Amino acid sequence: MATDNEKVIDLLANLDISELQSLLGAEILKNITLIQKQPGESFQTERKLAELVFGKYKKEIFLDDKVREKLLSVFGDDQLEALAQSLKDGQGAVGSRKKNIALISKEKFKGSFATNFVKLLGISEEFVPSSSYEFVPFEILNANWPVFDLFEYQMDISKKIYNAALKGDERFLVHMPTGSGKTRTSLEGVMAAWQESKEKNTFIVWLAPTQELCEQAANTIKSLWPDRGKRTVVLHNIWQGSRPEYSLAAGGFVVATMSTLWAMLNSSKSKDHEALKMIRDNAFCVVVDEAHHSIARTYKKLIETLVGSNRSLGRVPSLFGLTATPGRNDDTSENYELTDMFLNNRISIDVEKMSDGQKGEDPIRYLQRCEYLAKLNHFELETGSEFIPSQLAAGNEFELKQKALKELSGDVERNQIIVKAIMQQVEDKKPTLVFTCGVEHSQMLSAILGAFNVNAVSISGNTPQDVRVNAIGGFKAADGSVPVLLNYDILSTGFDAPKLKTLVIARPIFSVVQYGQILGRALRGPKMGGQTECTVIDIKDNFTRVPGIEFAFSYFKNYWR
C-alpha cells in the first residue's frame, strides 16, 4: 500500500515538467546535478521532479498556495466543487472551474478546509497544520523550597545577582558563555532575592528579543519554581502579540518580548497602558536576555521606562543584562553605550576563585576542562567562492547583501561540498544542525538530501508551530527520525539540543556576536546534559572569519573595567 508521501508524489507527477520546474525554482534546478549517481543521468522526468518538489516542502507542501494552485489543475470538477462548496458553508459551488481554482488556492490552509482537502486526496491529516499547539497567556505555579544545586561557578554569580536584586537600584551585565547556564543561574539569584525581600504583589520582569528565548525562560521558571518557590504565583507570558489575560494585582513573573511591551507602551488603548503601568510600578527587578540588543533606541527607552519608574515610590528595581558577548561588534561608540547602560559593572566567571580553577585559565577552557562545556573539533572546508568587496553590505554587521547571499546559495560546487559534509555526518549517525544562506537555501539542501533518503527538515519563521515542534522534537530525540535540521538564523538563540553532535556553518558570518551565538549551539557539555565533544564544520569562503569561541567570548572585555 502506498504511503501518504508516495500518494502526494504521485499526484505531483501528474503535473507537466514545466510546472514542476517552476515549483522547484531556479536554485534547485541549477543544483540538480548533485543527485546524479551516474554521469549523464537525467532527472527531467515528472516522477523525479515530483520527488524533489516533495523533498523541498515535505509536510508543509499544501501550505504553499502556488503548490495548491498547480495541484488543483489535476483535480476533477466534482472535487473542486466539493472544496468550493465547503468554503461557502454548504451554499453551493462558486462557479466555473477557473473561479473554483482561484478561490481554493487563495484560501488559508487550515481548519476544516485543510481537512477536506486532504480527505479528497485520500491522505491522512498529518499534512494538516495542527491546532493542538496553543499559546498559554498565563500559568499558575505552585511551590516548595529546597536547597540550591547550582555548580560552583554558577553559585558564585547567582549570589552576586541575589545581593544586587535584594539591594535594588543596581545594574550588572552577566557575562557567561552560551551553554553555561545563564538563564538558570540568573533566575536562581533573582528568585531567591525576591522571596527574601517579602515584597508582595511585585514582578520579576524578564525581557527577550525573540519568542524562542521567552519560551526558554518560561520553561526554566516552570521547572524551578515548584522546587524553589514558597508560594503560588502567576507566570504571565506576553509575546506573539498577546496581552496580559490574568489579573496583575498579585504580581508574579512577566516574561515578554521587548517588541510586545514596546507596542503596549505606544498603544492607543488605555488597557495596554494600565497593564504596563502595573508591571512598571511593581517591578522588583528587570532581566534583559541577549542584552547586547538593549541599546537599540526603542528597547533602551522601554528598559529605562521599566527600571526608572519606581524612584518616586521609594524603590528602583535592579537591572540585569545577560549575554555571552558583551558588546555590539566593531562599533566603539555602541560598545561604550552598552557599558554605560549597565554602569560598567560586569559579572563573569572568576576562574581563580573556583576550587578547581587554575591561575590565568580562560573561562571557556576552564568550563571545557571541567566538562561543563563540550570541546569543539573545528574543521574548515575551503570553497573557493569569490565575492568582490562591493558585494559587502554597509554597516557594522558586514553581512553580505541579500543578492550576494542568494548567489552563494546557488553555487553548485559549494553546495556539493556542503552536501558531502552533511552526508558523512549522517552516515556516522551524528545529529547535525546546519545554518544556511537563506530559507531557499535550506529548502534546496532539504530536497537534495531527501533524494539520498535523508530526512533533512528545513524550518523558518513561517513554519507552522506544530510542524516546527515535531521537527525540533525529532531532532532532539536523536533517534534518526530527523537526523538533519536546516535553518537560516532562527535557531541561533533560544535553541537547546543536548544530543547535537555536529554543527555545520554553511553561511558567511562577520558578526562576532552572531558567530558566538551559533557556536553556542554546540557547546553544552556532559555536566550540562550535552556531549563531551562536538564537531564544528565551517564552510569557508574567501573572507576572514571569527577565530573561535574563546575570541568571541573575550572580544569585548576591554570595554569593561
Exposure pattern of 4-20 as b/e (b: 16+ CB <10 Å)? bbebbbebbbebeeebb
Query: Tell me, what's the pLDDT at 369?
Result: 93
What residues does each domain of the chain span?
Answer: 4-127, 138-349, 370-559
- The number of residues making up the chain comes to 561
Whether the Cβ atoms of residue 85 and residue 91 lie closer than 8 Å to each other: yes
Query: Tell me, what's the pLDDT at 398?
Result: 44
Looking at residue 37, its amino acid is: K
**Separation CA 158–CA 190 (nearest Å):** 8
- Residues 6 or more apart whose CB falls under 8 angstroms from that of 494 comprise 208, 210, 211, 212, 213, 214, 215, 216
**Separation CA 194–CA 196 (nearest Å):** 6
Confidence of residue 91 (pLDDT cuts 50, 70, 90): very low
Do the domains spanning 138-349 and 370-559 agree at the CATH topology level? yes
Q: Tell me the CA end-to-end span of the chain in Å, nearest whole number.
A: 69
The total of other beta-carbon atoms located within 10 Å of residue 409's CB is 24
Please write the tens of the pLDDT for every residue from 155-185: 999 999 999 998 888 899 999 988 899 999 9
**438 or 104: which carries more pLDDT confidence?**
438
Q: For cell 527577550, name the residue.
A: 208
Please write the tens of the pLDDT for every residue from 4-58: 888 889 888 999 899 999 898 888 888 888 887 666 667 778 888 999 999 898 8
Largest CA distance in the chain: 81
For domain 370-559, the CATH superfamily is P-loop containing nucleotide triphosphate hydrolases (3.40.50.300)
Please write the tens of the pLDDT for every residue from 95-136: 788 888 888 888 888 888 888 888 888 888 888 877 655 667
Could you tell me whether strands 138-141 and 233-238 are parallel, antiparallel, or unpaired per DSSP bridges? antiparallel
Query: Tell me, what's the pLDDT at 96?
Result: 81
**Separation CA 536–CA 129 (nearest Å):** 34
The beta strand positions in 464-532, using DSSP E, are 484-487, 502-505
**Separation CA 224–CA 191 (nearest Å):** 10
Query: Tell me, what's the pLDDT at 219?
Result: 92
Q: For cell 557599558, name the residue.
A: 339
Q: What angle do CA 457, 481, 474 make, to 5 degrees?
A: 70
For domain 138-349, the CATH superfamily is P-loop containing nucleotide triphosphate hydrolases (3.40.50.300)
**418 or 125: which carries more pLDDT confidence?**
418
Exposure pattern of 513-534 as b/e (b: 16+ CB <10 Å)? bbbbbbbbbbbbbeebebbeeb
**417 or 383: which carries more pLDDT confidence?**
417
Phi-psi region at 231: left, alpha or beta (left = phi > 0; alpha = psi -120 to 50): beta
Query: Tell me, what's the pLDDT at 557?
Result: 61
Element (H, E) at 505: strand 502-505
Could you tell me whether strands 203-208 and 283-288 are parallel, antiparallel, or unpaired per DSSP bridges? parallel
**Separation CA 205–CA 307 (nearest Å):** 10
